[in-house]
């Protein structure tokens, strides 16, 4: 492995470790000095120190080393976990993130860490003072130290059992004194049969803390911690299975945890480019499979009595099933749980609430929901903005909430869930809600909408004005929000992902934003439509519904064709007009309308015919013909022809520029 590959592995590992570190420091702040949390932070700092030292990044190594020293003092109860300690640990985290970014961008570190190192050393000095005054107490603690027998079963797949047993030994030594082990690790010459090791440990830690720490280690399948006694000495070296059976009723080992621990030892890191390449190849297979199926149908029509066609269809069906499974598997390899995204929010909410002197509880649901890693990266900024807005403008100050009879602590709930082929994210707060009247006044004052137009708008339509560029109801501009460059950016990001956003709000009760996103952007479910003899594909996740209505139900408002569907007025555009295509005479007075959505907007598209939906592989056309408004790419259909994929964002822009299509929509009926 050359240095560039090692750097990639190092940065990926550092990213994961820093995210874990942030979560554990937050836990430390909320739960106090729980031994397992301190131990987790220590372990993360230790791992980061080792990998940064191996890569030659001295500042990162030094900073994590100083963190270890402070954590060691906390672990031995020489230093209490105060808010000052937590704040300094957060500062360490920020510095480590900064160092990592510098390594990522420039390959070297530039940040001066002297200040934060000095703060850490000051904490160590305080701990040393405590050591003197608490020496008697410590002596008493030592006298009260308990002895445990820690039995560990290594994974059968562990290729280096003896080194792994030593790693377990080192882990236990962090908690206290390891009196002995069975077998004696120094005398083991053949590690082939080394499966179970028992350690006698003297420590003031609890069994749960030891058990938790050992389960975090790689290649450790099962752990049992039982009290040590002279009577139990003989039993100390019983097989782990027997001992486990005795203890199971009192300390059941969750099956889920065991499975996850085993699973974690069988994962590998894969470069994203490799996954992209495999995805492209699968896309080619999907296209070929579609073509084979279509050719089979043609042959069936021509040679219905030929039994060879039956064989071809069976092969085609099998081929289709296998490709479907491969496609699903490859897509899953690109999927990540949104937990990686959610992990960024607690720290931000904590810092922001403190800076605004508000008390906010953050609830995260559906962390296990999976989403394509590209979509996760793109949706991060919009979600952060919605959360910032919820805290800054939504959640009221404590005094206001008390007057309104609300819980003093505000709540922000972020939820993720999969619904068919899309993921739904919601950001909900129990704050002040959005006043439609204030939105209207602000939009008129900023000349974003004419007063006479605003008077005709419904309450929901007024609320949608928050997505206009330059809109803001904030009275003052702060570092957090209020510059009027917020919700339109959110909308743009979601549009870029072909997603939808909706907002529901009740003044005094709170606001809920709902975002719907496609699972992946590489292979989509597409609706095939026809304009004359040309076939186009529309991403299904943008299609709200399809209706067939009479042209008599199409009306005109200021030159804009509109239709009323379930009491909602929708603007109507003929796709022929958008692409300047000739439009033939219709044989009936009815037209197909595909209602598409983009973020908060809706638009009805008039098409000639509908061919159904199918999987479409997105192919870029940018390098061949350049950027074309309203077209996002192309796909190959079953008959080998190319169909252009419509870009819903571009369609909305084209529709905005096209002032009137009413005459075309209504006059082309024969």
- Residues serving a catalytic function are 46, 68, 389
The arrangement of strands across the sheet holding 523-531 comes to 609-617, 523-531, 534-539, 642-646, 631-636
- Write out the DSSP string of 83-149: HHHHHHHHHHHHHHHHHHHHHHHHSS-----HHHHHHHHHHHHHHHHHHHHTHHHHHHHHHT-EEEE
- Phi/psi-derived region of residue 566, left when phi > 0, alpha when psi is between -120 and 50, beta in every other case: left
CA distance 392 to 628: 40
Pairing of strands 523-531, 609-617: antiparallel
CA 298 to mean position of chain CA atoms: 44
Buried b (16+ CB within 10 A) or exposed e, 553-581: ebeeeeebbbbebeeeebbbbbbbbbbee
- Relative orientation angle of helices 373-389 and 345-355, to the nearest 10 degrees: 20
Measured CA to CA in angstroms, residue 26 lies from 37, 89, 394 at distances of 10, 10, 23
Paired residues of 494 in beta bridges: none
**Rounded-to-5 percentages of helix, strand, coil across the chain:** 50, 25, 25
Q: From 395, 402, 397, select the one nearest 357 (Cα to Cα).
A: 397
Pairing of strands 590-598, 534-539: unpaired
CA distance 483 to 474: 8
Q: From 246, 223, 214, 226, select the one nearest 153 (Cα to Cα).
A: 223
Query: What does the chain come to in residues?
Result: 670
Q: Provide the H-helix boundaries in 516-613.
A: 575-578
CA distance 501 to 495: 9
CA distance 386 to 487: 8
- Angle value at C-alpha 499, between 556 and 596, nearest 5 degrees: 25
Contact 99, 106 (CB under 8 A): no
CA distance 190 to 38: 36
3-state secondary structure 21-42: HHHHHHHHHHHCCCHHHHHHHH
CA 648 to mean position of chain CA atoms: 24
- ω into 183 cis (within 30 of 0): yes
Contact 498, 539 (CB under 8 A): yes
CA distance 163 to 80: 35
Contact 49, 64 (CB under 8 A): yes
């Amino acid at each position: 492995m050359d240095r560039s590959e090692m750097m990639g592995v190092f940065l990926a590992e550092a990213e994961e470790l820093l995210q874990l570190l942030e979560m554990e420091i937050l836990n430390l702040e909320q739960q106090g000095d729980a031994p397992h949390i301190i131990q987790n932070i220590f372990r993360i700092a230790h791992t980061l120190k080792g990998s940064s030292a191996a890569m030659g990044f001295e500042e990162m190594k030094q900073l994590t080393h100083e963190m270890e020293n402070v954590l060691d003092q906390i672990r031995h109860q020489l230093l209490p976990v105060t808010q000052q300690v937590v704040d300094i640990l957060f500062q360490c985290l920020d510095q480590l993130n900064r160092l990592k970014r510098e390594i990522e961008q420039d390959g070297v570190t530039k940040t001066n860490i002297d200040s934060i190192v000095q703060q850490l050393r000051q904490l160590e000095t305080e701990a040393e003072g405590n050591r003197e005054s608490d020496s008697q107490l410590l002596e008493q603690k030592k006298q009260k130290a308990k002895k445990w027998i820690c039995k560990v079963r290594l994974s059968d797949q562990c290729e280096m059992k003896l080194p792994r047993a030593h790693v377990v030994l080192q882990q236990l030594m962090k908690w206290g004194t390891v009196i002995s082990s069975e077998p004696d690790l120094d005398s083991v010459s053949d590690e082939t049969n080394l499966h179970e090791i028992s350690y006698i440990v003297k420590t003031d830690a609890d069994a749960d803390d030891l058990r938790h720490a050992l389960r975090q280690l790689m290649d450790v399948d099962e752990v049992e911690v039982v009290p040590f006694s002279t009577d139990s000495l003989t039993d100390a070296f019983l097989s782990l299975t027997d001992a486990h059976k005795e203890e199971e009723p009192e300390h059941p080992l969750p099956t889920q945890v065991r499975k996850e621990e085993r699973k974690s030892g069988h994962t590998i890191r894969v470069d994203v480019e490799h996954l992209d390449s495999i995805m492209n190849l699968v896309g080619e297979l999907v296209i070929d499979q579609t073509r084979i199926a279509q050719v089979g149908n043609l042959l069936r029509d021509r040679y219905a009595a030929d039994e060879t066609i039956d064989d071809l269809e069976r092969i085609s069906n099998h081929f289709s099933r296998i490709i479907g499974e491969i496609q699903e598997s490859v897509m899953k390899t690109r999927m990540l749980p949104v937990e990686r995204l959610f992990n960024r929010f607690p720290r931000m909410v904590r810092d922001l609430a403190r800076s605004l002197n508000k008390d906010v509880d953050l609830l995260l649901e559906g962390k296990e929901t999976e989403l394509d890693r590209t979509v996760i990266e793109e949706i991060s900024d919009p979600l952060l903005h919605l959360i910032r807005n919820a805290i800054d403008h939504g959640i009221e100050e404590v005094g206001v909430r008390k007057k309104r009879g609300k819980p003093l602590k505000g709540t922000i709930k972020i939820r993720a869930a999969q619904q068919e082929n899309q993921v739904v994210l919601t950001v909900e707060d129990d704050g002040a809600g959005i006043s439609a009247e204030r939105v209207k006044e602000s939009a008129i004052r900023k000349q974003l909408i004419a007063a006479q137009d605003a008077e005709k708008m419904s309450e929901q339509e007024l609320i949608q004005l928050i997505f206009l560029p330059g809109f803001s109801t904030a009275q003052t501009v702060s570092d957090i929000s209020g510059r009027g460059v917020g919700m339109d950016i959110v909308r743009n990001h979601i549009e870029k992902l072909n997603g939808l956003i909706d907002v529901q709000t009740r003044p005094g009760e709170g606001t809920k934003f709902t975002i719907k996103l496609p699972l992946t952007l590489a292979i989509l479910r597409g609706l095939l439509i026809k304009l004359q003899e040309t076939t186009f594909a529309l991403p299904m996740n943008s299609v709200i519904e399809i209706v067939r209505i009479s042209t008599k139900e199409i009306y005109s408002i200021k030159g804009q064709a509109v239709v009323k569907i379930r009491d909602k007025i929708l603007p109507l555009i003929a796709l022929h007009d958008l692409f300047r295509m000739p439009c033939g005479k219709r044989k009936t007075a009815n037209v197909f309308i595909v209602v598409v959505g983009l973020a908060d907007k809706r638009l009805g598209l008039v098409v000639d015919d509908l061919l159904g939906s199918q999987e479409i592989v997105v192919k870029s056309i940018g390098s061949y013909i350049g950027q074309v408004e309203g077209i996002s790419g192309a796909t190959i259909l079953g008959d080998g022809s190319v169909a252009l994929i419509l870009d819903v964002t571009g369609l909305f822009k084209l529709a905005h520029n096209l002032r009137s299509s009413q005459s075309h929509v209504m006059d082309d009926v024969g």
